[in-house]
Amino acid sequence: MPVPSPPYLILKTPHLHEGGQSLVEFAVSSVILLLLVGGLVDIGRSIYVSEALSNAAREGARHGAWFQAPAQSHPYLYDAEIKLAVDAELATISLPASVLKNPGTTCPTPTDGNTVHNPPFVSSAYPATANQPWLYICYNNTPGLDFTSPATNQGQLDLNVIVLYTYGPLTPLVKSQFGVFQVAANEHMTVQGS
């Protein structure tokens, strides 16, 4: 027959100085977690805005390059119509209407010297205030060429619609550490017709 083991006395020692440790650990880790979540929100939002700007530039170029065959004309190949198409696309994601920089500066100056006016652009070409798109319409890669009414004799030439944006992050810490970001979207399209 087995012999019962003697009863053991288990003494618990109170941990008086460790009561707030988990609270402090949670407080420190929650700050880091909030920074990560805030950064992810800003990254996601910046990608979303970048895609929207690209869509707006593409729609503006597509609208301006359209050729009306029966009339043998380009009824939308001028600043106001292209701006309407760009602004309609920007409004779909609640961005403000663009600020047209024509006729002052039709083609922003690239920093790498390319002659077709593709990014990167000089910093002065971007809006000084955050979250306001600027629109440049570069006809035939010719600075200074501007149309305030439907253009003629532009068939098979280049139309470059450029939307520049200064992205301001939502998270204050990201904004204080990195500032604002410059986002550029442009679309080249060949004007249809002759």
Say how far apart CA 90 and CA 6 lie, in whole Å.
81
Is residue 186 over pLDDT 80? yes
Tokens of 44: 């996601």
Q: What is the pTM of this model?
A: 0.83
SS (H, E, C) 48-60: HHHHHHHHHHHHH
The Cα 152–Cα 156 span in angstroms is 11
Return left, alpha or beta for 131; rule: phi > 0 is left, psi -120 to 50 is alpha, else beta.
left
Question: Binning pLDDT at 50, 70 and 90, where does residue 18 land?
Answer: low
Stretch 39-54: mean pLDDT:
94
Model pLDDT, residue 194? 80
CA distance 94 to 14: 59
Q: Which residue has the tokens 């390059």?
A: 65
User: Which sequence spans correspond to the domains of the chain?
Assistant: 27-190
The residue among 109, 65, 129, 55 whose CA lies nearest residue 86 is 55
pLDDT digits (tens, 9 = 90+) for 114-140: 989 999 999 999 999 999 999 999 999
pLDDT at 16 over 80: no
Position 12 scores a pLDDT of 66
For the cut 70, the answer to whether the pLDDT of residue 13 exceeds it is no
